[in-house]
Amino acid sequence: MVNIPSSINDPIPPAEVEDVELYHPHSWWTTYVFSQDAKVIAIQYSLTAIAIGLVALVLSWLMRLQLGFPGVFTFIDADRYYQFITMHGMIMVIYLLTALFLGGFGNYLIPLMLGARDMVFPYANMLSYWIYLLAVLVLVAGFFAPGGPTGAGWTLYPPQAVLSGTPGGQDWGIILMLSSLILFIIGFTMGGLNYVVTVLQGRARGMTLMRMPLTIWGIFTATVMALLAFPALFVASVMMLFDRVLGTSFFMPAIAEMGAQLQYGGGSPILFQHLFWFFGHPEVYIVALPAFGIVSDLISVHARKNIFGYRMMVWAIVVIGALSFVVWAHHMYVSGMNPNFGFFFATTTLIIAVPTAIKVYNWVLTLWRGDIHLTIPMLFALGFIVTFVNGGLTGLFLGNVVVDVPLSDTMFVVAHFHMVMGVAPIMVIFGAIYHWYPKITGRMLDETMGRVHFWVTFLGAYLIFFPMHYLGLLGAPRRYHEIGESVVNPPSAHDLNVFITVMALIVGAAQILFLFNAAWSLRRGKDAGGNPWRATTLEWQTPTTPPPHGNFGKELPVVYRWAYDYSVPGAPEDFIPQNEPDPEHRSREHAT
């Protein structure tokens, strides 16, 4: 072992870890299919997640067609409608957002941004992807199974999830869904342990925790949370599977279904809800924190300015992560749990607003006196700020227990969570793809197509979900195949639903342009060079682009400064890479 000098200005000896020949792939199969290279695994994760995400997109079209034009598309009957909303929700939350942020961006960026050659457990990392793929296939199998996929809603609340009144409840649907979730969690745990250990053990010399880019802080904290939260879903899934297949009664009380007494008794449906939301609320932040981290870096790079209040940003991420484990029952204010819980959970929930607001302030204060380049990633970052602030603020309605009572289970909730954990993180995902595509492929995505894609997606999504809140305020319940005649469905509400459906079709179609751009630019895109955005972080300093196996060639980089040395006064360029020595100690980075 080499001792690391105590003073930050002392010369640091090069890392002793050399490129290890042993792990280099030697055949086409081990290079592109059963690869142990985190970058290949990242691309596998991402492509699979995007592919299944497109299924969810089509499902959203179908459900919007039913809501906008009830009765016109007769093949969307009640059974199918509930199957569509269930699969849409589960795919988006778990199989797209979680997988893409952690399996996709996590795998690609953790080793590269930290100056590591790869994840610390490459084999487990590879297994993680293949088990994820298996989980996706089992999930999709639901569409082809007798009775179709489950239509229990993505929350899968028992008892209805396993009874005959719900599509897939007494067929294969619910069994396949629960099996798929169990597989997903097994696969995720393998990847997740990898991400955590790599962040803790695999960093380049000089890369202290408080020099890590916020992207890594976001992904790291989200992964720790996921490792602690997913087991609750795992347990809940196993127990429900037992209730359904073996006839146990973990979540099943005595039930008289359609006049017939069932063989269940003594279980608690609310227990499932506690387990589900003990996972489910951290899950919101498992998606949000990587988005927070990535967008911080996008804003900083493209505004050519250090992220404002880095230390506060790190602590805000950690505090949000910790608090999110004690707010879960705000999803259950009207669940029938002891109403006195409301005082506690409303308080913890609204406390989270403070660190979250600090993050928003720091993003916009990073723009202040910046040198804002309106690149596509920056546009998406701006779109994120607008939609996240909007969705975050409506969270203050739903978190405040008594305000939640009239709004819960209405379209207000649907609008809120789509804005805050659908649209906002997806804005970041697109921004991140436009930002890192040049590193992954060596070519830029087309700018004109990118601008069209951004404006249609951002404005369209806002026009879908902003007005939708008001349907909920009016009282329109969610998860209605058809509201029909009702005080909460006046003709004007129907017109609004038509408008929302049309916008949803347009926004969905705009994604075809994005896919075309991604495919077209792969060969025809402008040559990117190694560091097209003139960014400081290590992934842009690799010897070749795309980075080779082992990432950094013969010698690993040594880190001398934080990730945000943009526009440092007196420096010749408006950015200084993290691996550039700082002999005059110009970097005004905080003491670490």
Partner 1 sequence: MAVVVILALVAVASVLFHLLSPWWWTPIASNWQYIDNTIIITFWITGFVFVAVVLFVAYCVLRFRHRPGTRADYEPENRKLEFWLATVTTIGVVAMLAPGLFVWDRFVTVPDDATEVEVVGQQWLWSYRLPGANGKLGTSETRDVTAENPLGVNKNDPAGLDDIIIQGGELHLPIGKPVKMLLRSIDVLHDFYVPEFRAKMDMVPGMVTYFWITPTRTGTFEVLCAELCGVGHPQMRGTVIVDNEADYQTWLEQQQTFTQMMASGETPTAN
289-308 positions binding partner 1, by CB under 8 A: 303-306, 308
Q: Is 408 one of the binding residues for partner 1 (CB under 8 A)?
A: yes
CB atoms within 10 A of CB 56: 19
Q: Is 403 one of the binding residues for partner 1 (CB under 8 A)?
A: yes
Residue 389: closest CA among 420, 427, 345:
420
Q: Is 431 one of the binding residues for partner 1 (CB under 8 A)?
A: no
Residue 591: closest CA among 312, 210, 115, 214:
210
Name the minimum Å distance from CB 282 to partner 1.
21
Choose one: 29-37, 43-51, 94-102, 584-592; the region binding partner 1 (CB under 8 A).
Answer: 584-592
Name the minimum Å distance from CB 237 to partner 1.
18
Cβ proximity to partner 1: between 281 and 481 the closer is 481
- Residues with Cβ within 8 Å of 169's Cβ and at least 6 positions away in sequence, in order, are 150, 151, 152, 160, 161, 162, 163
Q: Is 153 one of the binding residues for partner 1 (CB under 8 A)?
A: yes
Residue 107: closest CA among 290, 347, 340:
290
Name the minimum Å distance from CB 188 to partner 1.
27
CB atoms within 10 A of CB 121: 17
Name the minimum Å distance from CB 362 to partner 1.
8
Q: Can you read off the two tokens belonging to residue 462?
A: 């806002």
Name the minimum Å distance from CB 247 to partner 1.
17
The count of residues in the chain is 592
- Residues with Cβ within 8 Å of 572's Cβ and at least 6 positions away in sequence, in order, are none
Task: Among 25, 406, 508, 546, indicate the residue that binds partner 1 (CB under 8 A).
Answer: 406
Query: DSSP readout, 65-123?
Result: HHHHSTTTSTTS-HHHHHHHHHHHHHIIIIIIIIIIIIIIIIHHHHHHHHT-SS-S-HH
Q: Is 405 one of the binding residues for partner 1 (CB under 8 A)?
A: yes
Cβ proximity to partner 1: between 2 and 405 the closer is 405
CA distance 229 to 63: 30
Cβ proximity to partner 1: between 182 and 334 the closer is 334
CA distance 311 to 314: 5
Name the minimum Å distance from CB 142 to partner 1.
17
CA distance 241 to 178: 7
Q: What sign does the dihedral 124-130-133-135 (CA atoms) show?
A: negative
Name the minimum Å distance from CB 575 to partner 1.
10
Name the minimum Å distance from CB 130 to partner 1.
34
Name the minimum Å distance from CB 333 to partner 1.
9
Cβ proximity to partner 1: between 29 and 343 the closer is 343
Name the minimum Å distance from CB 168 to partner 1.
11
CA distance 101 to 99: 6
Task: Among 26, 146, 492, 583, indicate the residue that binds partner 1 (CB under 8 A).
Answer: 492
Secondary structure (3-state) at 557: coil
CA distance 205 to 200: 12
Name the minimum Å distance from CB 432 to partner 1.
19
409: left (phi over 0), alpha (psi -120 to 50) or beta: left
Q: Is 150 one of the binding residues for partner 1 (CB under 8 A)?
A: no
148: left (phi over 0), alpha (psi -120 to 50) or beta: left
196-255 positions binding partner 1, by CB under 8 A: 253-255
Q: Is 447 one of the binding residues for partner 1 (CB under 8 A)?
A: no
Cβ proximity to partner 1: between 128 and 400 the closer is 400
Name the minimum Å distance from CB 503 to partner 1.
14
Residue 39: closest CA among 549, 519, 503, 580:
549
Cβ proximity to partner 1: between 143 and 343 the closer is 343
Contact between residue 411 and residue 496 where contact means Cβ atoms under 8 Å apart: no
The rounded Cα 221 to chain-centroid distance in angstroms is 13
259-288 positions binding partner 1, by CB under 8 A: 259, 261, 265, 267-270
For residue 303, what is the DSSP state? T
26-85 positions binding partner 1, by CB under 8 A: 78-79, 82
Cβ proximity to partner 1: between 31 and 170 the closer is 170
331-350 positions binding partner 1, by CB under 8 A: 334-336, 339-340, 342-343, 346-347, 350
513-572 positions binding partner 1, by CB under 8 A: 564, 566-569
Task: Among 228, 396, 502, 505, indicate the residue that binds partner 1 (CB under 8 A).
Answer: 396
Task: Among 5, 11, 13, 165, indicate the residue that binds partner 1 (CB under 8 A).
Answer: 165
Q: Is 467 one of the binding residues for partner 1 (CB under 8 A)?
A: yes
Q: Can you read off the two tokens belonging to residue 76?
A: 């969307």
Q: Is 477 one of the binding residues for partner 1 (CB under 8 A)?
A: yes
Choose one: 1-9, 221-229, 385-393, 500-508; the region binding partner 1 (CB under 8 A).
Answer: 385-393
Cβ proximity to partner 1: between 238 and 350 the closer is 350
Cβ proximity to partner 1: between 186 and 210 the closer is 210
CB atoms within 10 A of CB 23: 15
Task: Among 143, 311, 516, 543, indicate the residue that binds partner 1 (CB under 8 A).
Answer: 311
Q: Can you read off the two tokens belonging to residue 242?
A: 């037992």
The rounded Cα 421 to chain-centroid distance in angstroms is 8
Task: Among 372, 452, 513, 522, indicate the residue that binds partner 1 (CB under 8 A).
Answer: 372
Q: Is 454 exposed, middle or buried (0-12, 13-18, 19+ CB in 10 A)?
A: buried
Binding-residue total with partner 1 (CB under 8 A): 116
Name the minimum Å distance from CB 85 to partner 1.
9
Q: Can you read off the two tokens belonging to residue 547?
A: 């980075």
Cβ proximity to partner 1: between 118 and 404 the closer is 404
Across the strands, what pairs with 260? Answer: 257
Dihedral of the CA atoms 238, 241, 245, 247 (nearest 10)?
80
Cβ proximity to partner 1: between 194 and 273 the closer is 273
Q: Is 310 one of the binding residues for partner 1 (CB under 8 A)?
A: yes
Name the minimum Å distance from CB 174 to partner 1.
13
Q: Is 422 exposed, middle or buried (0-12, 13-18, 19+ CB in 10 A)?
A: buried
